[in-house]
Chain A
Amino acid sequence: MKAQKKFLVGSAIIVATLLALAYVGYTQSKTYYHTISELATLSAAEQHQRMRVSGNVRTGSILHRDGHTDFVLEEQGKVLPVSYVGSDPLPDTFKDGAQALVEGRLQPDGAFTAEQVQAKCASKYEASPTGAPTQPVPTPGTSMNQASGLSAGKS
């Protein structure tokens, strides 16, 4: 019985330590999700939160500079100027019109300083608005058309 008791005590110590670490990690990284429209309605305390905001990249707004990249996100008619200061390179899917998710903090002047930027992978799996089985949107020059064009020539 003694060995089992010792094991339980050891386990309790380990679990307690991990819980403490988890709590510290949580407070350091917890990030609230807001839409651009919600940003205007945030209370003063909420404005200092670390947050994630999603939107579409306005065409022509991406500016690469020394040490940071500036662009503008828009959604439902609202805009948010963003400055990305992180060290990771921007994802390949980040371009004009892409759906992007930025993570960072809101500045007092209303601009957003982003430490992380995610851009959606080109999705072939989105549900069709009518709920019908998904078909990739046929536009000229897409890969699906290329494939069918090539297979017509193959046996």
Chain B
Amino acid sequence: MDIFGSFALLLALGAAVYAFVGGIAGIATRRPLLTKTARNSGMAVFGLVTLAVATIEYAFFTDDFSLAYVAGHSNRALPLYYKFSAHWAYAVLGWGGYWAWDPVENAALLPWITGTAFLHSVMMQEKRGMMKVWNVWLVFVTFMLCILGTSLTRTGIVSSVHAFAESSIGGWFFTFLGIILLVCLAAWFKNRDYLRSDNQLDSLVSRESSFLFNNLILLAACFAVLWGTLFPVISEAVNGSKISVGPPFFNKVNVPIALFLLLLTGVGPLLAWRKTSYDALRRNFAWPLAGGAVAGAVACALGFRELYPLICLILSVFVTLTIAAEFYRGARVIASRDGTNILTAVGELTMRNTRRYGGYVIHFGMVLIFVGISGQAFNRDIQKEMNIGDTIAIGPYTILCQNYDQPSTAVYTADRAALEVFRNGKSEMMLYPEHRVYLASQVPETEVAIESTPLRDLYVVYAGASPETGKPVIHAYLNPLVKWIWFGGIVVVLGTGLAMFPNRGAALVLRAATQGAWSETVSAQTAPASAPIRRSDAND
């Protein structure tokens, strides 16, 4: 099986080389065959690497220890259902969080930010011929950030739990980055005449404007995270001392950015291209704004007065209502015209324009993620040494230590606590947080006990044994709304799949030509013999 994976990687390397060489050759010699096959080759790289990953996942699944990589990493219980590493960090590492603004985490985030910015600003280019130079450079920067991110992890220029020190590979990486930059500059310079804008910004109350603000703050976030991550390198170069910045810096800048982004998510799709009329504004925003305001008022009345979570809640309700309104408006037209019920109409509507409505599903997934993250403001935790019969109270739960034992096996030694969890006086479940040490490698591992509900996670860790008494020290966390993050992530992935699906129901209308197609008297206003297939309508 592993031979299959290695072969797939070898093929992927060949395909990647061809994609690069063939693509450039195709552009230089103006041979479409070369550029087309080069592009397909690029996609083949993706498919082949996925195959290679699948074979190693298979090896993990079947515990194929003949692969050294599997043997070395099987100590960690890789969750087979969720592949998101944040969830892995949360559920497996027992560290209690899912994001720490570690340099390696930031390195992965940066290209995602610029890629998202590109995804939105390219629509401006598609519809209005604007932002061409900007988009070209945004894509170049996204790629360069990917390489920079890899170099941050491997060269150790920034200290991190994952950045391993002292490697000579830094020189190679930065030379590579330099070459990429030169190629990008050359490509842009050679094609700059084709990149002139066709149009300008007409009004601030337009979809173009919302995309511009979207790009502005996404890039501000990218810049802030990049600056914060590289700060130790910069400060050392400037005045010799290694100064690093931590989560307070990143959160202070990125939380307001994220909230503004959330606002744009609701506002943008409801604005028209070029300029939105006042009537349209009033019609589209009245109910969602009202809904958001009501949600905010209710939350305030119930005592949730933390500023940022409150704003997040208001905006989340606002955005959800705008998305629902979009689906409803379109579906209602189809339902009344075709005589179907509204649910079928929603399906038909979505499949006619998968990119737009898949995009709305993605936005909704992001709303869920933001709500899940805002729960962090209400996190609680408590650490206590527990004898048999001791209790910890946290939130609505009371945790009672029933027993502790050492369920060691041939592969590891373990300490485990058997905890009974009560809620409002009723016994709900047993939790078994464990701490293991794998004998062969002497690697310790925490088995976190998580009880996850839509409202909150109860997250219990066996922190260690008290040195004097040998009794277990239990650390219990109450993390509200965490499940929304994982669920929101799945919704985003599903929405992406939907958006990539080809549209259904494109109409090809054939009409007999009234004049010869190539006649000199054909005027510019003559309709073509067949109507073009419309991939999206003017209201996108």
Contacts and interface: CB of A to CB of B under 8 A. Distances in A.
A66 B474 CA distance: 9
A47 interface: no
A62 to B, nearest CB: 8
A21 B227 CA distance: 14
A93 B94 CA distance: 11
Contacts of B198: none
B177 interface: no
A146 B463 CA distance: 30
A150 B249 contact: no
A33 B383 contact: no
Given A28-B249, A147-B71, A88 B164 contact: no
Interface residues of A, number: 61
Contact of A127 (B168, B204, B440): B168
A69 B464 contact: yes
A89 B71 contact: no
Interface in A96-125: 101, 103, 116, 118-125
Interface stretch (B114-122, B237-245, B368-376): B237-245
A130 interface: no
Given A3-B201, A31-B245, A88-B95, A143 B384 contact: no
Contacts of B446: 89, 92
Contact of B381 (A26, A87, A91, A103): A87
B385 A66 contact: yes
User: Which of B68, B154, B256 has the largest count of A CB atoms less than 10 A from its CB?
Assistant: B68
A155 to B, nearest CB: 9
Interface residues of B, number: 71
Interface stretch (B39-47, B212-220, B347-355, B527-535): B212-220
A125 B150 CA distance: 14
Contacts of B538: none
Given A7-B201, A25-B245, A66 B384 contact: yes
A3 B202 contact: yes
Interface in A1-60: 3-4, 6-7, 10-11, 14-15, 17-18, 21-22, 24-26, 28-33, 52
Contacts of B246: 29, 31, 103, 116
A21 B256 contact: yes
B443 A92 contact: yes
Nearest to B252: A25
B414 interface: no
Interface string B131-171: 00000000000000000000000100001011011111000
Nearest to A87: B381
B412 to A, nearest CB: 12
Given A3-B203, A32-B242, A92 B467 contact: no
Contacts of A146: 65, 71, 440
Contact of B248 (A11, A25, A126): A25
A22 B68 contact: no
Contacts of A66: 383-385, 466, 473
B243 A33 contact: yes
B359 interface: no
A131 B209 contact: no
Contact of A141 (B66, B154, B224, B440): B440
Contacts of A62: 464
Interface string A69-97: 10000000000000000011111110100
Nearest to A91: B95
A26 B228 CA distance: 9
A92 B467 CA distance: 18
B244 A150 contact: no
B232 interface: yes
Given A7-B201, A64-B473, A88 B97 contact: yes
A119 B224 CA distance: 26
A7 B164 contact: no
A90 B463 contact: yes
A116 B166 CA distance: 24
Contacts of B250: 25
8 contacts: A7-B213, A30-B244, A32-B241, A33-B243, A64-B463, A89-B461, A126-B167, A131-B168
Interface of A: 3-4, 6-7, 10-11, 14-15, 17-18, 21-22, 24-26, 28-33, 52, 62-67, 69, 87-93, 95, 101, 103, 116, 118-127, 131, 141-144, 146-148, 150-151, 154
